[in-house]
Structure 1
Amino acid sequence: MKTKILLLLAFLLLSITTITKAQKCNYTHEKVDEFSGLVEKRIVKQHNFYFTFAFYRLGDDFRLESYVNIPGDQAFLIPEGSKLNLKLGDKSVMELTSIKNATPQSFVSGNQIYSGYAMTYPITKEQLKKIEEVGIKFIRTYLKDESYYDMDLKKKKIENTKNYASCILKD
């Protein structure tokens, strides 16, 4: 009798784990483009008020997006060709290059003015597969001149980046 109960519990535990894994892709945005018929997907994750990043896909076009909020009413633009450096879980470094200028979008939060910047970086399927394997440990977004914004990811968030890459790669 105890063996049957233990087997039943083991089966239920495995079933719950399988169901949980099957439901792990939570897209912030998912829709079919009316003209091309391609599926557009985005997973946006806010690290803190100052930094948000996203995994994006439209058909076979893959991108990472970086959103940075800087205190003050900024007047500079972050030029096309700026860099995003990713230190991966295996300590290798991946460098991505933005494909358009990022202009400031000013807004008020509380009693403070901020300037928000949205940068877009193309990424290959092979690079995403590497992230799926080892995750992202550290992100450095270059802003202007030699200034940058760093985001250090803890163990759970490193695992999450593996999951986001996996979800964006799914057809």
Structure 2
Amino acid sequence: MKTKFLTLLAFLLLSGAFIANAQKCNYTHEKIDEFSGKVERRILKSHNFYFKFAFYRLGDDFRLESYVNIPGDQAFLIPEGSKLHLKLGDKSVMELTSIKNATPQSFVAANQIFSGFAMTYPITKEQLKKIEEVGIKFVRTYLKDESYYDMDFKKKKIEKTKNYAQCILAD
């Protein structure tokens, strides 16, 4: 009797640990194209007013997206070929290259004008698997003329980036 109880208790504890560790995927956008059957998903997270970061998938096309808000009515574009550097949880660095120009979209917030830029960077499945394994610790988005925007992730957000990569890779 005692052995059955201990076995049941061990099973319940292991099941509870598995459920607690299971990650729920909260997509900002998710749909399946009616004609191609391709899955389209996006996980967009705001880290502060000035910076948002997204994981995106359309079928087997994976991308990271970086959104930066800069004070003022900016009249420059961030050119195709701009870089995004990711410092991963294991201290390795991943470099991605944007695939299109990012033009400013001006808007007013709190009685101030800002310019928003949206950059898109292709990423491979293997690179996403690396992020899933070790997470992202630091992001540097290059803007223009050697200027850049940095975002440092704390331990909890590093863990979340692992989950985002896992969710985007899920079939």
TM-score by length of 1: 0.91
Q: How far did residue 18 of structure 1 move?
A: 3.2
The CA distance in 2 between the partners of 1:45 and 1:145, in whole Å, is 27
Q: Cα gap change, 1:17/1:30 in structure 2, threshold over 3 Å: closer, same or farther?
A: farther
Q: How far did residue 19 of structure 1 move?
A: 3.4
SS of residue matched to 1:80: coil
The CA distance in 2 between the partners of 1:60 and 1:143, in whole Å, is 28
Range moving further from structure 2, 136-145 or 29-38: 29-38
Q: Cα gap change, 1:35/1:4 in structure 2, threshold over 3 Å: closer, same or farther?
A: same
TM-score by length of 2: 0.91
Q: How far did residue 37 of structure 1 move?
A: 1.4
Q: How far did residue 23 of structure 1 move?
A: 4.9
1:52 equivalenced with 2:52 (yes/no): yes
Range moving further from structure 2, 17-26 or 55-64: 17-26
1:71 equivalenced with 2:64 (yes/no): no
Range moving further from structure 2, 138-147 or 23-32: 23-32
Q: Extract unaligned runs of 5+ from structure 1.
A: none
Task: Write out per-residue CA displacement over residues 111-151 of structure 1, whole angstroms, 9 at most, x where no aligned residue.
Answer: 10000000000000000011011110000000011000000
SS of residue matched to 1:113: strand
Q: Percent identity?
A: 87
The CA distance in 2 between the partners of 1:30 and 1:147, in whole Å, is 34
Q: How far did residue 74 of structure 1 move?
A: 0.5
Equivalent residue for 1:110?
A: 110
Matches within 5 A, 1:151-166: 151-166=151-166
Q: How far did residue 22 of structure 1 move?
A: 4.0
What is the aligned length? 171
The CA distance in 2 between the partners of 1:68 and 1:148, in whole Å, is 10
Q: How far did residue 11 of structure 1 move?
A: 5.1
SS of residue matched to 1:103: coil
The CA distance in 1 between the partners of 2:58 and 2:126, in whole Å, is 16
Q: How far did residue 7 of structure 1 move?
A: 7.2
RMSD over aligned CA atoms reads 1.9
1:170 equivalenced with 2:140 (yes/no): no
Q: How far did residue 16 of structure 1 move?
A: 4.1
The CA distance in 2 between the partners of 1:67 and 1:36, in whole Å, is 28
Q: Extract unaligned runs of 5+ from structure 2.
A: none
